[in-house]
Structure 1
Amino acid sequence: MVHVNHTWTQNFILAGFTTTGTLQPLAFLGTLCIYLLTLAENLFIIVLVQVDSGLSTPMYFFISVLSFLELWYVSTTVVTLLHTLLHRHSPISSALCFIQLYVFHSLGMTECYLLSVMALDRYLAICLPLHYHALMSRQIQLWLAGATWVAGFSAAIVPASLTATLPFCLKEVAHYFCDLAPLMQLACVDTGWHARANGTVIGVATGCNFVLILGLYGGILKAVLKLPSAASRAKAFSTCSSHMTVVALFYGSAFTVYVSSSGSRPEGTDKLIALMYALLTPFLNPIVYTLRNKEVKEAVKRVTDRLRTILKGS
C-alpha cells in the first residue's frame, strides 16, 4: 500500500493578475475608481427609491434590493483584487478563503433567484394588470425578497462545504479570489465527484431560474404582441429592456465560467471573465436601470427640488 502524505494547508496565496511597471498602479487605480463608483451608484438607487414616493412600486423595490445585493457582491472580492493588483501574491487564511467562497456564491445564487422574481414582477404587471397590485402586495414583495436570500445562501452551503473539506497539497490559487475550480485544482485527491456535485447544485439553481425567466418573457412577448397600438407595445417592452440587459450580462458571463469547460480556454481567461460578473456587472446594473429612464429622472428632479426648498427655508 502506498501512503500519500496529504498536507492540510492553513493559508492560501492568491496569484492575482500579472501586472508590471506603470500598468500595475493604473490597474489598481482603475479598479478602485470602478469600485467606489459602484458603491455610489447602488447607494444612490437605494436612497432614491426610499425617499421618492413616485418610485414606490414593486419594480423599483426589487431594483433597490438588487442594488443592496450588489454592494455586498462586489465588496466580497474587490479587497483581495486590489491587494493582488498591488502585490500580485496575496496571502489569505483558509478560514477567510472559504468564507469568501461561500459568501460570493451565496450572493451570486441569490441574484439568480432575484432576477427571476423581477421577471415575475414584469410578467404580472404586463399580463395580469388588473390583478397586479393584489398579487404583488407589499407583504408579498417582502416575502419574495427574503425568499431569494434564504434560497441563495442555502444552495451555496453544498459547494462551499464540499470544497472546504478537501485536503490541499498546494497553496497558490490561480485567481484573485477563492473560487471553486481554482481551489479544487489544489486538492491532494481526485475531485471529480466534488466537481459533479457542485456543478449539479449550481446548475440546477442557475439553470432553473434561467429557464423560468425565459418562460416568463415568452409569456410577456405573447401578451405584448396582442396589444393594439405600437406605442403601447413599445412602452411595455421598455419596462422589460433594462432587466433583460442585466440578465444577459449576468448569465452570459457566469455560464461561460461555470458551465463551459475551462480546459478549452487560455490560461487566465476565467479571471478576466470573473471581472465581468464580479466587478463590471454590479457597476453597469445601476447605469442600465437609470439610463434614459424617465421615471428615475423625474424622481431625481423631485428630490433635488425638495432639497433646494429645504435649504432655502433654512
Structure 2
Amino acid sequence: MMLTGRNESAGATFVLLGFSSFPPLKLPLFMMFLAIYTVTVVGNLGMIGVIRVNPKLQTPMYFFLSHLSFLDFCYSSVVTPKLLEILVVEDRTISFKGCMAQFFFACMFVIAEMFMLAVMAYDRFVAVCNPLLYTVAMSPKLCALLVAGTYTWGVLCSSKLTYSLLKMSYCGSTINHFCCEFSAILSVSCSDTHFSQMVMLVVSTFSEVCSLLIILTSYVFIVVTIIKMPSTGGLRKAFSTCASHLTAITIFHGDILLLYSVPKSKSSWLFIKVATVFYSIVIPMLNPLIYSLRNKDVKETVKNLIHTKLLSHSV
C-alpha cells in the first residue's frame, strides 16, 4: 500500500531482509558480528578511558583520537544491534520513524568521522611541519572549534538528506538491506527520487572532496618536510606519527569510494551489504586496534592499568 503524507508514513513499517537469503549462515554471522561489536565497544570506550587517565595523552592528537573513538562507537551502535536482532528473530520489521532515525544518526556519524579524519590530518601537518609552534597553533580553543565543526557539519548534511527522504512516498515495505541505507530506502519509494539522489550526490561529493583535499594537502606538506629531514631518526619519528592515521584513512575512504562506485542493481546488492558491513561494523573495530598497536604511549598506559589492577586484586 502506498504510504503518503506524514501521518500515514509515521505509522508504517519496513521489513529488513538482511542476510535472510542465507539461512544456514544466520548463527555464524550472529556470533561473528556479536564478537566484532564487543571488541568495538571495549576497544573504543577503552581508548577513550586510556586517553583520559594518562596525563601524557592530554594532547590535541589524542583529543581528536578520543572523538574518533566516540564516533566509531556511536556509529557501530546505531547499526549493529538491529543487525544482530534481525539475525535471530523472525520479526525483522523496523518502524518508519525508527528507519529514518537510524539513517539520520548513521549518516551524521559517518560524515562527522570523515571530517574528523581530515582534522587529524591537519593536526599531523602542524605537528610535523611546525613542531615548535604546535602547542600554540593547536590551542584548546581551536581544537574544540574543529571538533564542534565536524559534528555540526554532520548534523546539517544528515538533516538535509533525511528531510529529502521524509518528503517522499513509499509503496514498498521490504528493504533489501540489514539497515536503512540511503539507496535501499530509495528502492522502496514510489515518488520521483531525482531530487533525493541529487541531494545525496551534492552532499556526498562535496564532503568527500573537501575532506580528501584537506588530507591530501596536509600529507603533501608532510612528505615534503620529511624528505628534507637530515636525520633518519627524525624521519622515522615523523613517519610513525602518521602511519596509523594513514592506515585508518585508506581503509575508511577506500571502502566508501568503493561502495558508492558500485551501480545499484539487483546483482550488486550482496556486494553492497558486505561493503556496508565493512565500513559500518568492521572499521569501527579496526580503528582502536590500529592506533593502539602502533602507539607506544597507549600500550604503556594499558600495561600499567592491567598491572595496577592485578596488584589491587592480589593485595
Normalising by structure 2, we get a TM-score of 0.92
| Residue number among 258, 263, 268 corresponding to 1:266 in the alignment | 268
| Residue number among 202, 217, 227 corresponding to 1:215 in the alignment | 217
User: In the alignment, residue 99 of structure 1 is paired with which amino acid?
Assistant: A
Aligned to 1:7: 3
1:148 match: secondary structure: helix
Deviating more after overlay: 21-30 vs 145-154: 21-30
User: In the alignment, residue 72 of structure 1 is paired with which amino acid?
Assistant: C
| Residue number among 41, 50, 64 corresponding to 2:66 in the alignment | 64
Output the CA distance in 2 between the equivalents of 1:175 and 1:235. Answer: 44
Identity percentage of aligned residues: 31
| Residue number among 134, 139, 142 corresponding to 2:141 in the alignment | 139
Q: Are the aligned partners of 1:19 and 1:85 in contact in 2 as well (CA < 8 Å)?
A: no
Q: Are the aligned partners of 1:17 and 1:88 in contact in 2 as well (CA < 8 Å)?
A: no
2:97 match: secondary structure: helix
Aligned to 1:124: 126
| Residue number among 32, 36, 39 corresponding to 2:38 in the alignment | 36
Output the CA distance in 1 between the equivalents of 2:31 and 2:312. Answer: 37
Deviation, 1:229, is 1.6
Q: Deviations over 1:52-87 (max 9, x none)?
A: 112111111111111111111000011221122224
Aligned to 1:111: 113
1:168 match: secondary structure: coil
In the alignment, structure 2 segments of 5+ residues that lack a partner are none
Aligned to 1:195: 197
Q: Are the aligned partners of 2:164 and 2:195 in contact in 1 as well (CA < 8 Å)?
A: no
Deviation, 1:150, is 1.1
Deviation, 1:152, is 0.9
| Residue number among 47, 54, 57 corresponding to 1:55 in the alignment | 57
1:221-236 equivalent positions in 2, closer than 5 A: 221-236=223-238
Q: Deviations over 1:157-209 (max 9, x none)?
A: 11111012110010101100001101111111221232122111121012211
Q: Deviations over 1:111-160 (max 9, x none)?
A: 01101110010000000111110011222222211221111111111111
In the alignment, structure 1 segments of 5+ residues that lack a partner are none
Normalising by structure 1, we get a TM-score of 0.92
Output the CA distance in 2 between the equivalents of 1:116 and 1:249. Answer: 14
Output the CA distance in 2 between the equivalents of 1:208 and 1:261. Answer: 23
Deviating more after overlay: 96-105 vs 182-191: 182-191
